[in-house]
Structure 1
Amino acid sequence: MTSIDWGILAVLAISAALSLRRGFVKEALSLVSWIAAFVIARVFSGNLATLLVDYIDTPSARWVVAFIILFAGTVAIGAMINHLVVEMIRITGLSSTDRVFGMVFGLVRGLLILVAIVYGLQYTAVPKDPWWQDSTLMPHLEILADWARKVLPAATDHVMSYTK
């Protein structure tokens, strides 16, 4: 195994360890709250920006402030809900199960991060480098990245349009 293989294993181990410590419910609810925060901020920032006309003159600054307020507020509410749910799990005695599922979640998250990196690097000359070619684990990640490319053709076409 090469140093890149050890790096791949380190990413997986760190992601799994962090999720083992936090638990599945906390990880999943955190992810959901961040996604919800982005969607809510993106959809409603224009509405909130109109309420800030008397306070902020520049339209772009109004939109940015509205986006930040909505994003931060949604993440804060998500964190409160997350805390309540995690406490309910702790009280019911399901913490060990939650942590084991959290570790699995962390492994999957680490794998998705690695696949996303490989996916992007495949559009460069990096895969021709010796360290890439000598890797034991990189061919497995390339298979997953190729699969993702087939599953996400619209996203690939969009990215590739910038290289033309």
Structure 2
Amino acid sequence: MTVVDVVVIFVIFLSALFSLIRGFVKEAISLATWIIAIWLAATFASKLAAALPNSIESEAVRQAVGFGVLFVLTLMVGAIVNLLVSQVVKKTGLSGADKIFGVAFGVLRGALIIIVFVLIGGMTPLPDAEWWQSSTLLQWFESAAIVIKEYIPEDLNLSY
């Protein structure tokens, strides 16, 4: 086992630990909130930018403000929803199951983080490095990345 393998295990462990502490419901709502916030901000930033006062002269600044406002507002609404749903989970006595599913969620998220690292690394010469080649765990995640690679545009030129 190499240092890289230890780092991979540590990333997955930390993700699982955070999810154990927070629980599945909080983790799932948080992830959904971030995805929705990015989508809403990207989709509607230009509409909000058009409604901003003319005192903001730069179109780029107007777009950035529109994106930022929508993104932050969506995260705030998501945090409120997360708080309310978490209270319901506690009151119904489902905290134990929530924590167990949270660990599973955390392990999957940690694995996804490593897969994203491998995908990004695949766009560089990193997969040819000796430390990459000697890692046992990176090879497993590389196999998963190869499957996912089919859905990534060819012009990104992954090295594996």
Which TM-score bucket, shorter chain as reference?
A: over 0.9
Q: Which runs of 5+ in 2 are unaligned?
A: none
Q: Give TM-score, length-normalised by structure 1.
A: 0.90
Q: Once the 2 structures are TM-superposed, how far is the Cα of residue 54 of structure 1 from its aligned partner?
A: 3.1
* Cα offsets for 1:31-72 (capped at 9, x unmatched): 111111111111111111122133322222111111111111
Counterpart position of 1:75: 75
- Check 1:124–1:47 CA distance in 2 against 1; reply closer, same or farther (3 A cut): closer
Question: Is the deviation greater in 85-94 or in 115-124?
Answer: 115-124
Secondary structure at the counterpart of residue 137 of structure 1? helix
Q: Counterparts of 2:6 and 2:29 in 1: how far apart (Å)? A: 30
Aligned residue identity for 1:140: W
1:158 Cα deviation from its structure 2 partner: 4.2
Deviation beyond 6 Å, 4+ runs, structure 1: none
Q: Partner of 1:118 in structure 2?
A: 118
Q: How does 1:4-153 map to 2 (within 5 A)?
A: 4-150=4-150, 152=151
Identity across the alignment (%): 39
Q: Which segments of 5 or more consecutive residues in structure 1 lack a partner in the other structure?
A: none
Distance in 2 (CA, whole Å) between partners of 1:5 and 1:78 is 35
Judge conservation of contact 2:19–2:103 (CA < 8 Å) in 1.
yes
| CA-based RMSD | 1.5
Taking structure 2 as the reference length, the TM-score comes to 0.92
- 1:157 pairs with one of 130, 154, 157: 154
- Offset of residue 120 of structure 1: 2.0
